[in-house]
Every structure is written in structure tokens, then in C-alpha cells.
């Protein structure tokens, strides 16, 4: 029974698409259930249209870029660390920099890990804002660059959340920084690698204490940003109310 209903529902969804595909290759489709004749002229005329080709290529590039960025969101940190290690090793192409097992290598690895998160979340935020307000800005004569600046200014609080997410991704990193930094005491050892080391040594109380300190830092940062955001929203609200009051009095 369930399979039969699913089959009927699938046919109901796919039948209009199938008819459109058949009709697009038909020579004539007037007052008939199915088109008569076979032709590809419609596809040829569409492809010869320069504006269509530009729009098609632009859409394809944007879609592929978005898919690539979203895929990089799940990039394993140990893989990033391994790639950076191979690049910075003495036999690697960037070995002349001498960055391996240094703070610079750790920053480079964390930047590569955080960049897809910032890019994907920022793109989604600005895309949603452009969908809501972009047409209005275009009607006022705003170009692409000006429109982007206005949307970034309007979504600044949402972008602050993106910064928090990026900070959380970086501050919780273990695998990549341990591979490229070496977890050298007093030089490249950070909170997360220290927690991993103390856990492996069996010193669980110290590992838990370090974890609580790390959580406290993140909590303090989130609370500070939330307070600043609320203060700015209240200030802007009072400013808007004063402007309305002046308009009414005038």
C-alpha cells in the first residue's frame, strides 16, 4: 500500500517534467497531448543567445563555488595539518620558509581551517540580505560594490556571529596544530594540545581544569559580544525614536 502510494506520488511529480522535456524537443505542440515532430532548434536558439550563455556560465560558476566552499566546511583538520606539514617540511616547496614546528605554521593551518567557515557563512548571510533588500538598492542606483558595502553594514551583527563561529573553530583545534606545531612546551603548546597531552598522561584533573579555562574564555567572549550588540541595538533604537519625534513635532 505504501509503495503504491509512493509510486503514484512519484509519477505525479515527474510527469510534468517529462512532458516539458518531450515538448522541448517537439517540432509542433498545438492542441495535442504530445508534440509532433522532433527538433533541437529551441536548444540551439537558446544557446546562441549571448545573454543566456553569460547567465548560464555565471550561475554554474557560482553554484560550483558554493558547493566547493560548503564541502570545505567538513575538511578534516588532520588532513589540513598533514598537507601543511608536507608543504613546510625541508623537502617541501615551502621548506625554505623554516616555519615547521613554529607559531607561524599553526596560524597558517588554523587560517585554512577557518576560512571556509567564514566564507560560507558570510556568503549565506549576504545572499539572504540581498534577496530581501537587493532589489530596492538596485532601484536606487546602487552598484554591486556599494550594494555589498550597504548589506555588510546592515548585517554587521550577523557577521559578528560569524566571527564567533570562526573563533570557536580555531580555538578548539587540536589535530592540525599538533602536527605542524609539534606541541613543544613553552613554544607551540596551546590549550587544546595541552588538554590532549594531560589526558594521555592520565592527569585528568589538570585536563579538566584546562578545559574549564578554555570554556570560560569562549563564554566571556560571547557574553562581551552579546552585551555590545544589545547596547548598539538600544542606541540605534533611541536614535530612530528621536528622529521620529522630531518629525512629528515639525
Tens of pLDDT, residue by residue over 103-162, are 899 999 999 989 888 888 888 888 888 888 888 888 888 888 888 888 888 888 888 888
Residues 82 and 68 in one domain: no
Residues 105 and 170 in one domain: yes
CB-CB contact of 15 with 9 (8 Å): no
Does 219 map to a domain? no
Q: Cell 536548444 maps to which residue?
A: 43
- Position 208 scores a pLDDT of 92
Query: pTM for this one?
Result: 0.67
Does 233 map to a domain? no
| Domain range for 146 | 75-189
Residues 59 and 128 in one domain: no
Split into its structural domains, the chain has a count of 2
Does 36 map to a domain? no
| Average predicted confidence (pLDDT) for the chain | 82
Does 65 map to a domain? yes
Residues 180 and 142 in one domain: yes
Alpha-helical regions (H) of the chain: 2-24, 41-48, 50-72, 77-88, 103-139, 144-154, 156-171, 175-181, 191-201, 204-249
- pLDDT-derived band at 87, boundaries 50, 70, 90: very high
- Position 246 scores a pLDDT of 47
Alpha-helical regions (H) of 155-203: 156-171, 175-181, 191-201
Residues 100 and 130 in one domain: yes
Amino acid at each position: 500500500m505504501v509503495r503504491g502510494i509512493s509510486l503514484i506520488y512519484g509519477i505525479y511529480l515527474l510527469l510534468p517534467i517529462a512532458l516539458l522535456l518531450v515538448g522541448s524537443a517537439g517540432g509542433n505542440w498545438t492542441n495535442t497531448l504530445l508534440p509532433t515532430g522532433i527538433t533541437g532548434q529551441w536548444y540551439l536558439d537558446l544557446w546562441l543567445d549571448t545573454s543566456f550563455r553569460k547567465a548560464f556560465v555565471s550561475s554554474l560558476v557560482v553554484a560550483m563555488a558554493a558547493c566547493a566552499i560548503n564541502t570545505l566546511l567538513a575538511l578534516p583538520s588532520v588532513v589540513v595539518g598533514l598537507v601543511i606539514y608536507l608543504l613546510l617540511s625541508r623537502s617541501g616547496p615551502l621548506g625554505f620558509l623554516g616555519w615547521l614546528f613554529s607559531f607561524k605554521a599553526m596560524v597558517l593551518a588554523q587560517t585554512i581551517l577557518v576560512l571556509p567557515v567564514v566564507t560560507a557563512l558570510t556568503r549565506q548571510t549576504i545572499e539572504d540580505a540581498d534577496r530581501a533588500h537587493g532589489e530596492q538598492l538596485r532601484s536606487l542606483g546602487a552598484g554591486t560594490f556599494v550594494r555589498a558595502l550597504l548589506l555588510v553594514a546592515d548585517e554587521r551583527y550577523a557577521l559578528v556571529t560569524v566571527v564567533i563561529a570562526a573563533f570557536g573553530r580555531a580555538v578548539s583545534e587540536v589535530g592540525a596544530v599538533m602536527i605542524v606545531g609539534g606541541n613543544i612546551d613553552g613554544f607551540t603548546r596551546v590549550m587544546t594540545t595541552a588538554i590532549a597531552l594531560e589526558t594521555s598522561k592520565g592527569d585528568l584533573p589538570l585536563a579538566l581544569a584546562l578545559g574549564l579555562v578554555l570554556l570560560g574564555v569562549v563564554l566571556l567572549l560571547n557574553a562581551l559580544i552579546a552585551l555590545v550588540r544589545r547596547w548598539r541595538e538600544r542606541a540605534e533604537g533611541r536614535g530612530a525614536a528621536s528622529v521620529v519625534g522630531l518629525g512629528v513635532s515639525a
